[in-house]
Amino acid sequence: MLEPGEQAPEFELPDHDGEPVRLSDFRGDTVVLYFYPKAGTDGCTSEACSFRDNWDAFQEADVQVVGVSTDPVEEIASFREQQGLPFPLLSDEDGEVARRYETFGTPEIDGQRYEIALRSTYVIDEDGVIEATYEDVSPEQHAAEILEGVGTDR
């Protein structure tokens, strides 16, 4: 993973509506940029719903949440709608952004290898600098863990 204190790599990816989103679009805000392996799987659904269920606290802390996976736009759009997610999901189909953030791999799942974004999170400050990193997170508790880290007094 990249380290706190490093400039977060700029990127442009399509969101759930196919519209381009850049990291710089969030300049001036703290951003929770979380990478997840596969929309609709148990762990990824738990993690996304954890962010959704804590959405008011993130808004009160002036923190933006953005999810990134290697799923195509159609899949993230469906996932977002099914789960009622209030934050953008971005499609990194070729894994280029996940690679730049050092959170891409080819794990073996049920005897098959998959090229996917690995579950990890970056908290990026208002100037685009990485504040904190999270690896090997518990999907169910991750949003609360991040809220503790960013505090709610922003």
Which residue of the set 21, 44, 130, 137 is catalytic?
Answer: 44
CB 36 within 8 A of CB 122: no
What is the spatial distance between Cα 36 and Cα 31, in angstroms, rounded to a whole number?
Answer: 16
Residue 44 a catalytic site member: yes
* Tokens, residue 109: 């799942």
CB 98 within 8 A of CB 117: yes
CA–centroid distance for 10 within its chain: 14
Q: How would you class 109 by CB atoms within 10 Å of its CB: exposed for 0-12, middle for 13-18, buried for 19 or more? A: exposed
CA angle 141, 81, 109 (to 5 degrees): 55
Residues annotated as catalytic (active site), given as ranges: 44
